[in-house]
């Protein structure tokens, strides 16, 4: 199980949880697990079967797009952060 950090802007879709445990060895598996349980997340994270361009996923502080994308391996205990664009400033 890996803990996935849920940003405040996506907590509406995940029952308010700040962190969710997810099953899987790759980012894709983790997201599939989450999307299965919280289908409302899909349109916030996925576009044309890939990660939407307005969302980043970090594994151990690295953007998965600079690694192997959705196929990036995730080890147990890794820190995974979902990060959509956030504009608020006032």
Partner 1 sequence: MPTYRELLQQVRAEISEVDASHARELVDTGEPVIVDVREQDEWDEGHIPGAVHIPRGHLESRIERTAPDPSRAVLVYCSAGNRSAFAAKTLEEFGYEDVVSLAGGFTDWKRNGYPVEQQAGLEAQQRARYSRHLLIPEVGEQGQLKLLDSKVLLVGAGGLGSPASLYLAAAGVGRIGIVDADVVDESNLQRQIVHSTERLGEPKVESAKRTIEALNPDVQVVAYEERLTSENVERILADGWDVIVDGADNFPTRYLVNDASVWHDVPVVHGSIYRFEGQVTVFKPGGGPCYRCLFPTPPPPELAPSCAEGGVLGVLPGVIGSLQANEALKLALGIGEPLVGRLLLFDALSAEFDEVKLRRDPDCPVCGEHPTITEYIDYVEFCAGTRETA
Please give the residue ranges that form the binding site for partner 1 (CB under 8 A): 7-9, 12, 18, 43-44, 52-54, 56, 58, 61-63, 66, 79, 81, 83-90
Q: Under the phi-then-psi rule, with left for phi > 0, alpha for psi from -120 to 50, and beta for the rest, what region is 5? A: beta
Residue among 1 and 54 whose Cβ is closer to partner 1: 54
CA dist., res. 39 & res. 89, Å (int) = 29
Residue (76 or 90) nearer to partner 1, CB: 90
β strands within 6-90, DSSP E: 19-22, 46-47, 50-51, 55-59, 62-63, 80-84
Q: How far is the CB of 49 from partner 1 (least distance, A)?
A: 17
Closest to 74 measured CA to CA, from 36, 21, 16: 21
Q: Which is nearer to partner 1, 32 or 81 (CB)?
A: 81
Q: Kindly state the smallest distance separating residue 68's Cβ from partner 1, in Å.
A: 15
Residue 40 CB, nearest approach to partner 1 (Å): 11
């Amino acid at each position: 199980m890996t803990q996935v950090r849920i940003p405040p802007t996506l907590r509406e879709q995940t029952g308010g949880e700040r962190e969710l445990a997810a099953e899987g060895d790759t980012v894709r598996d983790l997201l599939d697990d989450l999307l299965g349980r919280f289908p409302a997340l899909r349109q916030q994270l996925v576009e044309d079967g890939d990660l939407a361009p307005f969302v980043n996923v970090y594994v151990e502080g690295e953007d998965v797009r600079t690694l192997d994308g959705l196929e990036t391996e995730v080890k147990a205990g890794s820190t995974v952060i979902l990060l959509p664009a956030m504009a608020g400033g006032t």
